Amino acid sequence: MERKRSEKKSEIEQTAVAIVSSPIGGIRITATGRGIRRIEIAIRGGGAGKSLEGEGKAAFWLTQAVKEIKAYFTKKSFRSFTVPIDFGDAVTSFARRALEAAGRIPFGETRSYKEVAASAGNPRAARAVGGAMSRNPVALIIPCHRVVASDASLGGFTGGLHLKRTLLDHEAKK
């Protein structure tokens, strides 16, 4: 019994990392045995989509995320991301609810910070939603770029407003 626990724990602690080339630059993906832990978009020196390291369940989730991100950019049968997310203890409970609400925004659509706050259980927490989006550890998978101001202006975006507009334009094209 003790051995099974330690084997399971070691698989959860495993990590796998890949860099995927995309129209917006390199995307670094980090996975654990529980799911995707981090997505960094538009990184410099994006490489040619090479896998850097990984094994076990982490490598499985990484492979799944790479496929889904490639499908996102080609729009080939892409509907939404299905790979699990490993938030660890990186977000508060409200931030997690806000991020999960943003994750439910359909491809090609937007929601206001206020609408996301309401979906997360606190309609008066639009500013807190903005904070949660600014700290989103898995951009693209949780599409924080789809969250906009109530007047439909872009609001903010960690990757810059140009990148937010590029992603929204990509999704709007049929």
Render pLDDT for 97-156 as a digit per residue (tens, 0 to 9).
999 999 999 999 999 999 999 999 999 999 999 999 999 999 999 999 999 999 988 988
Which of 20, 144, 167, 168 is catalytic? The answer is: 144
Catalytic residue status for 15: no
Residue 46, token pair as written in the block: 């994006």
pLDDT at 6: 45
* Cα gap 164→157, rounded to integer Å: 6
Contact 58, 51 (CB under 8 A): no
Would the pLDDT of 33 be above 50? yes
Q: How many other β-carbons are positioned within 10 Å of the β-carbon of residue 111?
A: 20
List the chain domain ranges: 2-74, 93-172
Q: What is the CATH number of domain 93-172?
A: 1.10.10.10
**Phi, psi for 99 (deg, rounded to 5):** -65, -40
Q: How many other β-carbons are positioned within 10 Å of the β-carbon of residue 101?
A: 21
66-88 residues labelled b (16+ CB within 10 A) or e (exposed): bebbbebbeeeeeeebebebbbe
Positive/negative CA dihedral, 110, 113, 119, 123 = negative
pLDDT at 1: 46
Positive/negative CA dihedral, 137, 139, 145, 146 = negative
Q: Give the bridge partners for 29, in sequence order.
A: 18, 39
pLDDT at 85: 95
- Strands 111-112, 51-53: pairing is unpaired
Provide the whole-model pTM.
0.85
